[in-house]
Structure 1
Amino acid sequence: MRNEEAENSIISTSESNAASIAIVNGDLWHEEVIDEDLKWKFALNRVLHEETSKYQNIALLDTKRFGKVLMLDGKMQSAESDEFVYHECLIHPPLLCHPNPKSVFIMGGGEGSAAREALKHKSIDKVVMCDIDEVVVDFCRQHLPANQEAFNHKKLQLVIDDAKAQLEGRTEKFSVIVGDLADPVEGGPCYQLYTKSFYEKILKPRLTDDGIFVT
């Protein structure tokens, strides 16, 4: 009985109980609750690093299937094996559709991947990446070396602030505004950035006449 308990035990649970890490038959597994009747899990090699900011819990997992995985509050945000699919699809369509994009404002995007893709476009003069959580940004700079070039790029302006406050306080307009955000969990740092009022009253006035918003 003692051996069986050692091989099957929960070793950590998120505050919202939306995710947990457990030992099952001697293997380490992450389990994430998607809905009342839906959850998924994947096998881990180990937990590489974990810390908590004043906004959220941040973890980097070394998984057997997806490589390094970035987690925020127990929810997968990005996986080393396929994050390029999401970020290329998020960034390149609006920049290619725009007749002459010069500037990009990224809401969130703390891991640096959205900025990395935007900076590939030669017409771009400036990319502003605005993330509210400095701990996430520093965490990603330290643990995700694939984006170091983007973080050090001379065209990148990194701002640690609430994106809503930044857009309200700026007078300049942007060719493209991107929402690369965590899930809109009520009470979470990104919730207010998913509202119709924010889009109409704050975001839209910060776009150029031919500007594009994508999220």
Structure 2
Amino acid sequence: MGTEAVEILTGKDLSKICSEPSQGIHGDCCWYEETIDVHLKWSFELNSVLHKGTSEHQEIALLDTKHFGKVLVIDGKMQSAERDEFIYHECLIHPPLLCHPNPRTVFIMGGGEGSAAREILKHKTVKKIIMCDIDQEVVDFCRRYLTVNHEAFCNEKLNLVINDAKKELEKCNEKFDIIVGDLADPVEGGPCYQLYTKSFYEKILKPRLNDKGIFVTQAGPAGIFTHKEVFSSIYNTIKHVFKYVMAYTAHVPSFADTWGWVIASDQPFSINAEEIDRRIEDRVCGELLYLNGASFLSSSIMNKTVSLSLLNETHVYTEEDARFIHGHGLGRRD
């Protein structure tokens, strides 16, 4: 019986990753390993490493995995996988646009991958999108190698801005119907944890929304064991800023967990499953693969443990008292 040679590569090993395809169970194998927590790792067998690099802000890699297809990894954390990214991006984008009576203008914080813009462009009412990402190299990387989003990047409705979203919104005089937080998870030393703080939501983001405007953000892991890392805190922080706030979740297989989003407005979300389905039919070009009215409403019903955590959470996210998921950005390396 032959002996299998297995190479395990982590986020710290991106500079050493081999680009040769794995030869399967009876030959040499190359795996990428993501550390989810101190005692928990998540591994992917690779066909190859397509591209890798380091920008001013982040480490970037595009991996071709056997199970999830092309996978975008930033700072050692999976951002999206070709096979199931539609779950994350449909849940992020379509609820706020479908809850709004007539969304025409959208501001994306982050979103350099292009998938959030792709989903927004499916809405017939939308006339203008500003996508503001801090990292030119990530945007160029994704525009070049994530072929599924080529049309979105070329669409005349999309205005690409390279800047810190906080600084861009501070100097912006325009107001928007929808603001989307398609940001990386808050990690210590990462570029975006300040965009999850109460002061940012209250003083910078909210004034840039129109009267019936809606804000939505990804809010990190929301599983039974992980929801207290940042999800419950982000939810509670947003509750201190907006009158109507709703959390919702979905399982994303490539993330190895349930994921969370938070949607907020000063107008109530008075919309039922039938109306959501009708708006999808009337407004959205193409077929959604994951989201419909019933699934969205059911996604806002938490299990008992998570419900109680959201109800009892007292932590408010500030720059001085931030919470982070496991991992580190380029600003802090152990």
Gaps of 5+ in 2: 218-334
1:131-210 aligned within 5 A: 131-210=133-212
Q: Give the structure with the higher percent strand.
A: 1
Q: 1:13 to 1:64 in 2, by over 3 A?
A: closer
CA distances 1:74-106 after superposition (whole Å, capped 9, x unpaired): 111010011111111110110000011110000
Partner AA of 2:5 in structure 1: E
Gaps of 5+ in 1: none
Picking from 1, 11, 14, the partner of 2:11 is 14
Partner AA of 1:97 in structure 2: C
What's the counterpart of residue 110 of structure 1?
Answer: 112
Q: 1:72 to 1:192 in 2, by over 3 A?
A: same
Picking from 68, 84, 100, the partner of 1:66 is 68
What's the counterpart of residue 31 of structure 2?
Answer: 29
**CA–CA separation in structure 1 for the residues paired with 2:86 and 2:211:** 29
**CA–CA separation in structure 2 for the residues paired with 1:115 and 1:14:** 27
Contact 1:21 1:31 in 2 (8 A): no
What's the counterpart of residue 43 of structure 2?
Answer: 41
**CA–CA separation in structure 1 for the residues paired with 2:212 and 2:183:** 23
Partner AA of 1:143 in structure 2: Y
Q: CA RMSD in A?
A: 2.2
Contact 2:133 2:163 in 1 (8 A): yes
Runs of 4+ residues deviating >2 angstroms:
6-10, 12-15, 20-26
Partner AA of 1:141 in structure 2: R
**CA–CA separation in structure 2 for the residues paired with 1:105 and 1:179:** 9
1:65-104 aligned within 5 A: 65-104=67-106
Q: 1:13 to 1:82 in 2, by over 3 A?
A: closer
Does 1 or 2 have the higher relative contact order (CA < 8 Å, sep 6+)? 2
**CA–CA separation in structure 1 for the residues paired with 2:215 and 2:83:** 27
SS in 2 for 1:41: strand
Partner AA of 1:127 in structure 2: I
SS in 2 for 1:201: helix
Task: Give the structure-2-normalised TM-score.
Answer: 0.59
1:119-134 aligned within 5 A: 119-134=121-136
Task: Give the structure-1-normalised TM-score.
Answer: 0.91
CA distances 1:5-53 after superposition (whole Å, capped 9, x unpaired): x92445x5434x8xx9699972111111111122111111111110110
Matched length: 209
